[in-house]
């Protein structure tokens, strides 16, 4: 149920955002091979729930601390390197 609440209203879920799309592509390529949970960042960028979560981070709907909490809740594992990589690539 909580996943549904997180994925229900991504800022870009209705409209395309070329800047966000380019950013997710960049993150997927540059953050390889850091895993989140048992998956590679590149693969997660095609998963709706993770894409929604990163969209929220990118669009400043949540901060890095909230993003980290959600990632670690839904994708248990040693996620620090991947999270740090993603956050470091956020636009200024």
Distance of CA 41 to the CA centre of its chain: 8
Tens digit of each residue's pLDDT (9 = 90 or more) over 30-58: 999 999 999 999 999 989 999 999 999 99
Once rounded to an integer, what is the mean pLDDT over residues 11-21? 74
pTM for the full model? 0.81
Residues 50 and 45: their CA atoms lie apart, in Å, by: 7
DSSP assignment of 29-47, as one string?
HHTTT-EETTEEHHHHTTS
3-state secondary structure of 88: helix
């Amino acid at each position: 149920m909580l996943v549904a609440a997180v994925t229900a209203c991504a800022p870009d879920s209705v409209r395309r955002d070329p800047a966000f799309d380019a950013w997710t592509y960049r993150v997927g390529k540059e953050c390889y091979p850091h895993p989140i949970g048992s998956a590679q960042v590149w693969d997660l960028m095609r998963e709706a729930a993770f894409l929604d979560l990163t969209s929220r981070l990118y669009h400043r709907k949540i901060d890095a601390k909230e993003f980290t909490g959600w990632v670690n809740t839904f994708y248990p594992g040693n996620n620090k390197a991947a999270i740090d990589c993603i956050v470091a690539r956020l636009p200024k």
